[in-house]
Amino acid sequence: MPHQKSSAIYEQVVRRNPGEPEFHQAVREVLESIAPVIERRPEYADWKLIERICEPERQIIFRVPWEDDRGEVHINRGFRVEFNSALGPYKGGLRFHPSVYLGVVKFLAFEQIFKNSLTGLPIGAGKGGSDFDPKGRSNREVMRFCQSFMTELYRHIGEYTDVPAGDIGVGQREIGYLFGQFKRITNRYESGVITGKGLEYGGARVRAEATGYGCVYFVEEMLNARGTSLDGKRVVVSGSGNVAIHSIEKAQALGGVTVACSDSSGYVLDEKGIDLGLLRQVKEVERAGLSLYAERRGTDAVFVPGRAVWEVPCEVALPSATQNEIGDDDAARLVRSGCVAVGEGANMPTTPGGIRVFQEAGIAFGPGKAANAGGVATSALEMQQNAARDSWTFEYSEARLHEIMRDMHDRCLTTADAYGRPGDYVAGANIAGFTRVADAMLSLGLI
């Protein structure tokens, strides 16, 4: 980290937040990018804006007791990190997964600051969740957990304060239970308090599709900037959840051929292109593993257990599963296989070493805080519809998403150029996201 001021701040962050490597990694990446900004804008240093932006405004940790179908009592831990509200109410998802702890939630909320800023919409940044695992639990068990979780969380959220949404392990089922409990406790039908709702009770069209669609739109813009497109390109996607499925759908709609996707058990290779209808049936309806997809697809598909999907050659890679899934070796393998573009559908799925490999090879690399911002952008559009008691068509909503992703791509590209880093979307995203928040914080005074 070349800038002395940035190095000192990073060391302070590590010292004050021990045992949180994901948070340290996210902070370091941003600090490395914004060093040139500090030189041009000394007032940021004078007002300690970087130190302030690295410190959450509020961190909430609470106990979540619940009872399973056998009558056994379980205790989980709930989190909400309200990181920055300079641009608007805290906004960010809830993640239910055994890997969730404070460091993961802080890294996600920190990334959310710059992601939300990049959308150009009036939303701050937060993130939350629990180490509860909904996998294998009955609907009633999930309902009881969500009701217990919201019984504490409700006092910290509101449409003008903090607006959660879904993330890993939190889909429309969980959002429904959470919103129902909020309504029950508060006696208010405050639709804008949570996003990702069902259409029948205040949800927005394209919300489910937004992160996957948005990521593919961002990749298409990167390719267009280089005089090419997705049409005819071989695509590999990690994951097989909501983001991955909608990435596959939009990539195929734009002419890409998605030949592989993965889950926690391994990956499936389908050289004729993933059968989206079958994948939805297996993952969204039956909630089964990808081995079932291969079994039903027949000789066209092969299931490879326990291996990373990045060993499959491709021209476009869309990591859409979880953090740090592409390391140095995976990145080098993708480069050797002819990969020309990477769009991060997940949050921080590429390690710093992997990013360096991609950038040194000249690959178009779309970082998550830009490439996967379509989800939160459409969440903000859901808030807008809720506030106006309105509901937009699918076509209009998707057109707004496409416009936001195109503008975000252009903002990243022009900012990178302005700071002497042409084509560096990581630097462009970090600097553009940071400066908008920092300028708002300057305007609001020392708070």
Pairing of strands 301-305, 316-319: unpaired
Place of tokens 């399973």: 68
Distance CA 439, CA 190 (A): 31
Separation between Cα atoms, residue 217 and residue 223, nearest integer Å: 10
Three-state SS at 335: helix
Run of H or E including 224 = helix 210-225
Render the burial of 180-215: b for 16+ CB within 10 Å, e for the rest.
Answer: ebbbeeeeeebbbbbbbbeeeebbbbbbbbbbbbbb
CB 231 within 8 A of CB 254: yes
Residue numbering of the annotated binding site:
91, 112, 115, 166, 211, 242, 379
- Cβ 49 vs Cβ 441: under 8 Å: yes
Q: Summarize pLDDT for 181-190 with one digit per residue, the tens.
A: 999 999 999 9
pLDDT (tens digit, 0 to 9) for every residue of the chain, 447 residues total?
Answer: 446 778 899 999 999 999 999 999 999 999 999 989 988 999 999 999 999 999 999 999 999 999 999 999 999 999 999 999 999 999 999 999 999 999 999 999 999 999 999 999 999 999 999 999 998 999 999 999 999 999 999 999 999 999 999 998 999 999 999 999 999 999 999 999 999 999 999 999 999 999 999 999 999 999 999 999 999 999 999 999 999 999 999 999 999 999 999 999 999 999 999 999 999 999 999 989 999 999 999 888 999 999 999 999 999 999 999 889 999 999 999 999 999 999 999 988 999 999 999 999 999 999 999 999 999 999 999 999 999 999 999 999 999 999 999 999 999 999 999 999 999 999 999 999 999 999 999 999 999
Predicted structure pTM score: 0.91
Helix axes 374-387, 394-418, angle to 10 degrees: 130
- The closest of 322, 320, 317, 354 to 337, measured between CA atoms, is 317
Q: Where is the binding site for substrate, in residues?
A: 91, 112, 115, 166, 379
Residue with tokens 């975000």: 408
Question: In the chain, what are the domains?
Answer: 4-53 (no CATH), 58-190 (3.40.50.10860), 210-371 (3.40.50.720)
Report the distance separating Cα 26 and Cα 352, nearest Å.
Answer: 9
pLDDT score of 211: 94
Neighbours of 432 (CB within 10 A): 24
d(CA 51, CA 63): 30
- The two tokens of residue 202 are 């205040």
- CA proximity to 30, closest of 370, 326, 318, 439: 370
Return the pLDDT at 3. Answer: 60
Task: Tell me which H or E stretch contains 358.
Answer: helix 352-360
Nearest to 243 by CA among 278, 198, 207: 207
Collapse the DSSP code of 420 into the 3-class scheme (helix H, G, I; strand E, B; otherwise coil) and give the result.
coil
**Rounded to an integer, what distance in angstroms lies between the CA atom of residue 392 and that of residue 396?**
6
Please report the pLDDT score of residue 397 as a whole number: 97
- Within 58-101, where are the H helices? none
pLDDT at 365: 98
- For residue 223 the two structure tokens come to 């390719």
DSSP string, 171-190: -HHHHHHHHHHHHHHH----
Give the DSSP H or E segment for 62: strand 58-67
Q: Which residues contact 135 (CB under 8 A, 6 or more apart)?
A: 169
Residue ranges for the known binding site for NAD(+) are: 211, 242
- Count other Cβ atoms within 10 Å, centred on residue 172: 16
**Which residues does the annotation mark as catalytic?**
127
